[in-house]
Amino acid sequence: MDKAQAVAGIGLFAGLGAKELAALAGIAEVRRFGRGEDIFFSGDPAEGFFSVASGKVRIYQTSLAGKEHIVHVFGPGEVFAEVAVFAGGVYPASAQALEAGDYLFFPRERFRRLLADDPDLALNMLGLLSMRLRQLVKKLEDLSLREVPARLAAHLLLLGAESKKKLLSLDLPKGQLAAYLGTIPETLSRVLRRFADDGLISLSGSAIEILDAGRLEALAAGTAAGTPPFGPAAR
Amino acid sequence: MDKAQAVAGIGLFAGLGAKELAALAGIAEVRRFGRGEDIFFSGDPAEGFFSVASGKVRIYQTSLAGKEHIVHVFGPGEVFAEVAVFAGGVYPASAQALEAGDYLFFPRERFRRLLADDPDLALNMLGLLSMRLRQLVKKLEDLSLREVPARLAAHLLLLGAESKKKLLSLDLPKGQLAAYLGTIPETLSRVLRRFADDGLISLSGSAIEILDAGRLEALAAGTAAGTPPFGPAAR
DNA sequence: AGCCTGCCTTGACTTACGTCAAAAACGGGG
DNA sequence: CCCCGTTTTTGACGTAAGTCAAGGCAGGCT
């Protein structure tokens, strides 16, 4: 793979000059991870951050009891673990490749040196961190004040908005999606079924079609108590 | 109150020169809020960020059903809503003064201009955002993979570590603490009682003494299933 | 003192969601 | 095409924690 090209495709580096990009490419190390391979674990010393050239990573946390929660999933062009650069110490969560792919690693100190000379880069980084913060606050809200059906509804609508087609395929295997929504596969499965039974969606294999976006939105917004059990249909 | 002095006491501005501090004081507007007064609401256009000169704020979210979740509580010297500066749009949560006090407001655009000329400030800001991110990730983990007793135990230990005295008084009224831990007053009350019954803490009015830090730590770390219902004592 | 208002606690009940276990469904190799 | 491992689904069940509804226990005010 072409390192320079990969660097140029990173959103965080948008708007930077050719010289800066070259410098960044200079300090980046290519690393390849296979499907399911661990990139780092929560608690590992944080020595730099990564970007995805190809593939998909999940950032996740585990409890001692073995439960997992997926904080975020990143794809090509995105960076992750950038928190390592400024607040040193250890990674606050684990990262694992969901699909095989190439990643770039930017070592902390060398990156900081580039940053000092490049106000644009610093600005971009500030924007990125702010966006992340915003997302996390949103996720916190979901987790603490919304129930699973509402979270799922919101996620489906999001997927629907991204792919303009009505018929959408999940971006993650269902088990992973469950962990992303802060629940377990069994519950996800049941809620999907309930949505289908109530005519909100249609399930055909792993593809999902949104039948009633309006009701889904109501569900996503309010708490489950929009209409009695769910839809207007008798139970 | 003395604006210049308040600005100098802000952690985010640590290490800046006198000139920079003066410029910051120049753009800051003093605002006073009474106890319980709203500073901004989730969804309001984000036009700048705040710092606390005196008093205490809570950053919180509400569901349509009226439930509240406290994301963070800030005291003197801390800044909040800084996400507004870089990722514009609207505030992602609401802010309310828990105690009457003076606040400084830094308008977005003017602050950005200062930032452009001041790499140290940008660096500090990056550090701050990173720290926040770290905290939020931690909170996410708590909420999604730990139960209320574990969260409470962790919080008590934290309070205990801060005040070197064994006898600690809560930093928040219990109802607020409940919202901070992602639960409701009733549940908090019950769990505290259970802790007391099991000899982990002693409750005298609103003061709490940690009796068995070891068992509290075990609780905070693992899931509730460390020792059968709770302690080794029979039920 | 007395009263009121807000906060905290307690009890009985409900429920969303997790656990455990087993059956289906799926998806490649061979 | 069949077999095996993984993923998904379904069912029966358990439980943490939320809801609803009374009380207690302040502390401030008149």
Q: Which residues contact A10 (CB under 8 A, 6 or more apart)?
A: A51, A77, A78, A79, A104
Q: Which residues of A touch B (CB under 8 A)?
A: 61-65, 67, 69, 71, 82-83, 85-87, 92-93, 115-116, 119, 122-123, 125-127, 129-134, 136-141, 143-146, 182, 221-223, 225
Whole-angstrom Cα Rg for chain B? 20
Position B169 scores a pLDDT of 86
Between the CA of B195 and the C1' of D25, what is the distance in angstroms?
22
Q: Are A155 and A221 in contact (CB under 8 A)?
A: no
* Other Cβ atoms closer than 10 A to B233: 10
Partners of residue A73 on adjacent β-strands = A58
Tokens linked to B154: 């962790």
| Least confident segment among B40-54, B71-85, B202-216 | B202-216
C chain positions with any atom within 7 Å of a protein CB: 7-12, 16-21, 26-27
Stretch B69-93: mean pLDDT: 94
Tokens linked to B149: 């007793």
Measured between beta carbons, which residues in chain A are less than 8 angstroms from residue B143?
140, 143-144
pLDDT in tens, B151-201: 999 999 999 988 767 788 888 999 999 999 999 999 999 999 999 999 999
Interface residues 79-138 of A with strand C (CB < 7 Å): none
Question: What mean pLDDT, rounded, does chain B reach?
Answer: 91
Domains B3-143 and B147-221 share a fold: no
Closest residue by Cα to residue A105 from A36, A35, A44, A33: A33
Share of chain B above pLDDT 70, in %: 94
- Give residue limits of the domains in chain B: 3-143, 147-221
ipTM computed for the complex: 0.90
Q: Which residues contact A113 (CB under 8 A, 6 or more apart)?
A: none
The residue ranges of chain A whose pLDDT is under 50 are 224-235
Residue A187 CB closer than 7 angstroms to strand C? yes
* The CATH number of the domain covering residues in A3-143: 2.60.120.10
Position A223 scores a pLDDT of 54
Are A140 and B221 a contacting pair at CB < 8 A?
Answer: no
Inter-chain contacts counted by CB atoms under 8 A, chains A and B: 136
Partners of residue A68 on adjacent β-strands = A62
The DSSP secondary structure of A26-95, one letter per residue, reads HH-EEEEE-TT-EEE-TTSB--EEEEESSSEEEEEEE-TTS-EEEEEEE-TT-EE-THHHHS-SB-SSEE
Are A65 and B182 a contacting pair at CB < 8 A?
Answer: no
Give the residue whose CA sits closest to D25 at C1': B205
Q: Is the dihedral of CA A15, A16, A22, A25 positive or negative?
A: negative
Partners of residue B33 on adjacent β-strands = B101
Overall CATH class of domain A147-221: mainly alpha
pLDDT in tens, B97-153: 999 999 999 999 999 999 988 999 999 999 999 999 999 999 999 999 999 999 999
